[in-house]
Structure 1
Amino acid sequence: MTDLHIRPARPDEQPIVEDLLREASAWLASRGIDQWQYPPHSDRIALALARSEVFIASLGDQPVGTLQLDEYADPEFWTASDEPHTALYVHRMAVGRQYSGLGVGSLMLDWASRQAAASRKKWLRLDAWKDNQELHRYYERMGFSLVRVINLPHRGSGALFQRQVVAI
């Protein structure tokens, strides 16, 4: 799928981003997974859009996925010993269900790795839902290693993954 294009989302595209996240949430719920079972954090998404940290993946003019990529290392998860400044972090990644299985997620993660390398970072990192083992296996297939699982009672997320990026 070489015709996938990833670009910064515009603030007026917030509904597209939120629709992709809601679709992912509904699909997860249909599979009995409680991940993302809340409305999208519109305020956080709006701020990330204003900072040009939200991206849309498209095939032609059709949005097929979204992710947020930034330097925000959640302090409840990533400690000083992790050297948070050495990584870029993926947040809120979702692929439209009709494009599932086509490699869109893999291409988005590879793109994010290239962005990390271009920013002279050593790692691409993310946190995943603690009890979504299928998602953990997916990230491992994508070359990520599990760093640790943080169990905080007020957080569903906490499985920390990273993969080393290749310098450009």
Structure 2
Amino acid sequence: MKIRKGGPDDVPAMLGMFDSAVAWLTEQGRTGQWGSTPFSTDAARIESVTRRASEGDMRIAEIDGEPAGSIVVGPAMPYVTPAPEPELYVQMLVIDRRFSGRGVGSALLGWAREEAARLGVGLLRVDCYAGDDGRLVRYYESVGFSRTVEFVVGEWPGQVLEMRISPADS
């Protein structure tokens, strides 16, 4: 697996990753997270992905030259209270379902942990969908994050999780 810097040219691949995730979630009857409409057909989601690709620090994980996942880090999302200390925030993480079970998410989160350490930032945070059976929250816990604050945006239940970073993590 190779992790490279991404940018606006990667927006079509990212939209494809989101589309594959939405299709899989829909097949599972789990539409609470992202609904059932493909990201690539939703103007607001296209704009959001495009903006984050331009403004944030994006990385693309590739397997055999194929984009397998993407992560964008930056400041906390506007619906989350910023931390009282410097932090790096996972704004977006998506894995193409074709590469499920191959460690793509863990590798990208490992890159984020290393990036936080490199920047001298002691806190890495992420938020995620906390509805249905809580599987996504448990995933983040399995890779070292701890639950902090629960929140709701509209009817969407969310969970903020954090990971402490030490300089030795770099």
TM-score normalised by L of structure 1: 0.86
Shift of 1:166: 2.5
Aligned partner of 1:115 in structure 2 is 115
In 1, are the aligned partners of 2:113 and 2:165 still within 8 Å (CA)?
Answer: yes
Secondary structure of the 1:29 match is helix
Tell me the SS of whatever aligns to 2:92.
strand
- Letter aligned with residue 70 of structure 2: T
Residue 127 of structure 1 and its aligned partner are, at CA, apart by: 0.7
Paired residue for 2:145? 144
Number of equivalent positions: 160
Corresponding residue number in structure 1 for 2:6? 9
* Matched residue type, 1:110: G
Deviation of the 1:106 alpha carbon:
0.8
Inter-partner Cα distance in structure 2 for 1:75 and 1:46: 17
* Equivalent residue letter for 2:54: A
Provide Cα deviations, 1:51-99, integer angstroms capped at 9, x if missing partner.
352221102311111111112x1243224xx31x521111221112122
Distance 1:75 1:52, change over 3 A: closer
Is the CA contact 1:65–1:93 (under 8 Å) kept in the aligned structure 2? yes
AA at the equivalent of 2:33:
Q
**Would the alpha carbon gap of residues 108 and 159 (structure 1) be closer, same or farther in structure 2, given more than 3 Å must change?**
same
- Unaligned segments of structure 1, at least 5 residues: none
Q: Measure, in 2, the Cα distance between the counterparts of 1:74 and 1:155.
A: 17
The answer to whether residue 61 in structure 2 is matched with residue 60 in structure 1 is no
Q: Does 1:47 align with 2:54?
A: no
Distance in 1, matches of 2:24 and 2:65, equals 23
1:96 paired with 2:105, answer no
Percentage of identical aligned residues = 29
- 1:9–1:52 Cα contact (<8 Å) kept: no
Cα distance in structure 2, aligned partners of 1:156 and 1:60: 36
1:74 paired residue among 55, 73, 77: 77
In structure 2, list runs of 5 or more residues that go unmatched. 40-44
**Deviations 1:21-41 (Å, cap 9, x if unpaired)?**
111111111112121125531
2:22 aligned with 1:25: yes
CA displacement at 1:104 relative to structure 2: 1.4
Distance 1:52 1:158, change over 3 A: closer
2:165 corresponds to which residue? 165
Q: Distance in 2 between matches of 1:92 and 1:29?
A: 20
Any idea what SS the aligned residue of 1:57 has?
strand
Hey, what's the Cα distance between the residues in 2 that align with 1:124 and 1:36?
A: 23
